[in-house]
Chain A
Amino acid sequence: MLEGFTAGLAAFSSWQVIAGLFAGVVVGYLVGALPGLSAGVGMALLIPFTFGLDPVVSVVMLIAVYMASEYSGAIPAILVNTPGEPSAAITALDGYPMRKRGEAGHALTLSILGSAFGSVLSTILLIFSVSWMTKFALAFGPAEYFALAVLGLSLISTLSGSSIIRGFVALLFGLLLTTIGTDPVDGLPRFVFDDGFLSGVPFVSALIGLFALSEVLRMLETTDEPTTPMRDIPGVNGQLGLMKPHMGNMVRSTFIGYIVGVIPGAGATIASIVAYTVQKRLSKDPDSFGSGNPEGVVAAETSNNACMPGALAPMLALGIPGKASTAVLIGALAIHGVAPGPLIFTQHPEIPYSIYISLLVGMPFMVLLGLYGTRLWVRLTQIPRGVIAAIVCAVCLLGTFSESKDIFSIWVAVGFGIIGYGLSKVHIEPAPIILALVLGYMMESNFRRALVMSGDEMTVFVSHPISAICLAISLIVFVLPLIQTVRRRRRTAVKAAAYPGKAA
């Protein structure tokens, strides 16, 4: 570990890495503070800028974007009741009522300090647990990797959107798309109706299309709406003493955030909900939650920021993206020829340790910007929606082209943008498709390799203990929500039969 930190610190002696870190924090703040732009979109937009950069500079910049945008989503959530990130919706529950009471400064201070605490403690947990996870991962063979991919996919399908069947369909659609291109074992071209698809569906183009261009089309629906005027822009007092009554809440929420983050498919929104619910149950004043209780702001912000290093653990140790943002990070690393997974610690030790150091070094800068830059961020949320939509669209098209230097990739991004918009209108989320694009290749190649190695023995997946456990958990995770849904429907039906008037 010491050698790894030395390699990471050596990388940090370069001015480009420091500049990349600061630039990433500033870009992350902008992305997070602009409603409609998520951390994943911001990172995807930044990828084209990283092609010519050193891999360490690229990854540090992207991590800084990820870290800062996870926090700054709370700024518009507290000030204008508009979450900049989906996870900040929970922060808005108590943050916005606090702002209405004239306590915006208090809420913003608590949110940045809670975020900083959660992120730093969670990074320490990541540093110590990832090496254990890596040792565990080194025992993995094709059967285990296949089972792991199935586990990741089973979580994604159940945690995306409001409907299991829609998540399932989106997941299968994404998996089917991964079969386009050259077959991973025999090298046979499959479903290649254009030469551009020989090496598969271009990931960056699909990502930019599904997330950003579909969002641009959604933005066109509301560009005639005025931006919400700010009547008062609060000053922020960085009172560290404000943290004192919330220490227990912050430690608890950090652990919740880290654990939820480690689970592939779970995310910051779920971490916020769990931490908020736990804090509400433990609070001496649970009734005031939702009407401006600072404990709610602290729990939500601490946990959603603690979730971020947690999501990096499976990415670094196993090469599995826990969420869309880490999928983008894997894509960015792949462009530089770096494959996350157990071997990253021996082949490219500077990458994981640079990530740890950037999480720890970037935090003080993020806190200072959070405490003193509030006025600037508030002004950015006032940019007309039309300008944001047009510039985001232009950056997407340019970024897509610069990734492949081929107009074909723009066609792919535009196609996925329109598909993503259409699917969103029928409540099918794009996240399962993207995560399937990441995990699909891993799933098929390891499934077939495991069969080749075992002489076509299907029991290989259940005879290996890790693989069997992963598949059993996948089955439970996939079936449990179905059982819960059936039970809920039965309960509703029983209630409707007992109180026919109320049921209507």
Chain B
Amino acid sequence: MVRDKAIPMNLADHVMHEDSLPPAKEITIRSELGDIVAGLGLAGIAAWFMVEAIRLPDYSGTAIGAADFPKGLAFLLLLGALGLVGGAVLRLATGHAGESSTIRRPLHVLIGALLLIAFPLMMSYAGYYIAMGIFLTAFLYLADINRPLLVGGCVAGFLLFTKIIFEMILQTPLP
């Protein structure tokens, strides 16, 4: 499923760049597979909500209590999610392929997501400025900004902006 592919750039300048850029990896997801994964995931969430809602006590004394609304919504979501899965299975069976989607540079996206997850952890232990400095530097390199001066300028500029606007003017207490 992962394959190397030369990606055409903006139509206006692809002639200029098509030979100079390295090929980008991409993952193509068939819409049927996407629908099945999303449908099963959402069905799982709906089932969890339904089980938790059943455990809720009812103090209201009315026809519709605190648990009934989420139970109804979870049931409808379960139906919708299973409908999504059923539609995908039907398309697979009949050979009617839907619109596929592509994730270009999946490793970059994965590292980006991991950096996002790491940021609040870093902020808890090292404080805002160190965490943001490390995060922004790493993110800029990940986003193909390789010139040290530009990276340093962006990081220093953003931290200075935070200090002046958020800490000094808006009085936001940053850890």
Chain A interface residues toward B at CB < 8 A: 48-49, 51-52, 80-81, 162, 165-166, 168-169, 172-173, 175-176, 179, 183, 185-186, 188, 190-191, 213, 216-217, 219-226, 228-229, 384-387, 389-391, 393-394, 397-398, 401-402, 405, 407, 410-411, 414, 417-418, 421-423, 425-428, 444, 447-448, 451-452, 456, 458
Contacts and interface: CB of A to CB of B under 8 A. Distances in A.
A296 to B, nearest CB: 21
B42 A173 contact: yes
A451 B63 contact: yes
B49 A394 contact: no
B24 A224 contact: yes
Contact of A173 (B35, B45, B53, B109): B45
Contact of A447 (B22, B56, B64, B132): B64
A168 B83 CA distance: 11
A389 B143 CA distance: 7
A427 B49 contact: no
Given A186-B65, A397-B119, A426-B34, A390 B59 contact: no
Nearest to B70: A179
Contact residue range for chain B? 35 or more
B89 interface: no
Interface string B141-163: 01111000010001000100010
Nearest to B170: A52
Please provide the 8 A-B residue pairs with the shortest distance between their CB atoms, ordered closest to farther: A386-B143, A426-B34, A221-B104, A456-B63, A179-B70, A172-B77, A183-B66, A223-B143
A223 B59 contact: no
Given A407-B123, A456-B62, A190 B56 contact: yes
B97 interface: no
A220 B109 contact: yes
B143 A385 contact: yes
Contact of B84 (A165, A410, A418, A422): A165
Contact of A228 (B10, B34, B104, B154): B10
B119 to A, nearest CB: 6
Interface in B116-175: 116-117, 119-120, 123-124, 128, 132, 135-136, 139-140, 142-145, 150, 154, 158, 162, 165-166, 169-175
A417 B119 CA distance: 13
Interface in B45-68: 45-46, 49, 52-53, 56-57, 59-60, 62-67
Nearest to A385: B143
A390 B140 contact: yes
Interface of B: 7, 9-10, 12-13, 17, 21-22, 24, 29, 31, 34-35, 37-39, 42, 45-46, 49, 52-53, 56-57, 59-60, 62-67, 69-70, 73-74, 76-77, 80-81, 83-84, 87, 99, 101, 103-105, 108-109, 112-113, 116-117, 119-120, 123-124, 128, 132, 135-136, 139-140, 142-145, 150, 154, 158, 162, 165-166, 169-175
A417 B74 CA distance: 23
Contact of B109 (A221, A226, A393, A426): A221
Nearest to A183: B66
A451 B65 CA distance: 10
5 contacts: A172-B73, A220-B143, A224-B21, A410-B119, A414-B119
B13 A418 contact: no
A166 B135 CA distance: 34
Contacts of B120: 407, 410-411, 414
Given A169-B77, A389-B143, A390-B154, 5 more contacts: A51-B170, A165-B80, A223-B144, A390-B143, A393-B139
